[in-house]
Amino acid sequence: MTVPVELRDVSRSYAMGPEQEIRALHRITISVRPGSAVAITGPSGSGKSTLLHVIGAMDVSDEGSVRVGDVDVTNLKGAEQADYRRSIGFVFQKFHLLPALTIVDNVVAPLLPFRTSFDKWSRASELLAAVGLEDRADSLPARLSGGQQQRVAIARALINDPALLLADEPTGNLDSETGTEIMDLLLRLRTEHGMTFLIATHDPVVASRCERIVRLKDGEVVDDVDIESGVHYDEVLGRIAGLGPGA
């Protein structure tokens, strides 16, 4: 089941000392269709990661509302917030694998404290097969390449069959060829699992693989282009780089 994502007038600021405040997001309004793949782009410090963290309930907005499906993320507290975070998938730039655990144990780790209606280990094995690592289940993370470790992180993000997948610069620590492979994998799994997919990236080539691109600058939306509307590829790359509307 896919879910829509709705942000209305979302703002977030951080205090940097007694008299200084950093505005990370300012009155962000975005509506994401269920099942769509949307890239959030912009330079470093534009608010990309903060936006995903607010959607994923790893941070809270100062103003505005965030809804994911039927969930009012803005007003979640305590256990409700933790339950919501377990219902979505999150892939980070850093892999955050536990070095003392095998690959299959890393995939299962988010669910170890909880009872599930399915067999955790069987699902982990299926996901490792889906990301092409079924033969490395008993390996430790240190024995894998960066691209393979990111594949493990993707499998871990899918262990609870999320309707929403958030990815924060998932190709940022990888070379271009491996990054392309990871993006291929994310888009394929998004289709196979029927997920809504939001990815924060500074890479215009990665962003152009999505159906829609939202560009941020200084915490505000400065461009929003639907690639499926027939916009030329060169224009898409230019707009991501800030050479077109909203520059």
Tens-digit pLDDT profile for residues 85-126: 989 999 998 889 999 999 999 999 998 888 888 899 999 999
Strands 89-91 and 164-168: parallel
**pLDDT band, residue 152 (cuts 50/70/90):** very high
**HSE value, Cβ hemisphere, 13 Å, CA-based, for 135:** 1
- Check residue 103 and give its pLDDT: 96
Tens-digit pLDDT profile for residues 127-151: 999 999 999 999 999 999 999 999 9
Q: What is the pTM of this model?
A: 0.91
> By C-alpha distance, which of 206, 185, 163, 160 is closest to 41?
206
Q: Is the pLDDT of residue 15 over 80?
A: yes
